[in-house]
Amino acid sequence: MASDQQSYTLTGTDFLTLVLIGPIIFAFIVLGVIIVWKTTTNPEAVAPHLDIILVAFAIFANPVTMAIGALVQRIQKAGDEKQ
């Protein structure tokens, strides 16, 4: 850990971004957990539909990845402006 601790204050825009994108990220994580859980507990029932499920998960992954990237970029930019 570094000795100089940095803090980050959420602006109104950052807060609204988290409120709007947070449920999407949460749904993405829950969907991944459900896919793994159903596949490991009952593979015979999931196997015929697994290709469609994984395509849907892959399509869902792109917006979530872009949203997380935008949030991280905004936080990094704010950190660079403080220095």
What's the chain's average pLDDT?
82
d(CA 37, CA 27): 15
Residue 37 is predicted with a pLDDT of 92
Residue 1 is predicted with a pLDDT of 47
Determine contact, residues 79/6, Cβ cutoff 8 Å.
yes
**Predicted structure pTM score:** 0.63
The string of pLDDT tens digits covering residues 4-26 is: 677 767 788 878 888 888 888 89
- Is the pLDDT confidence value at 33 over 50? yes
| Of residues 58, 35, 59, the one with CA closest to residue 45 | 35
- Is the pLDDT confidence value at 3 over 60? no
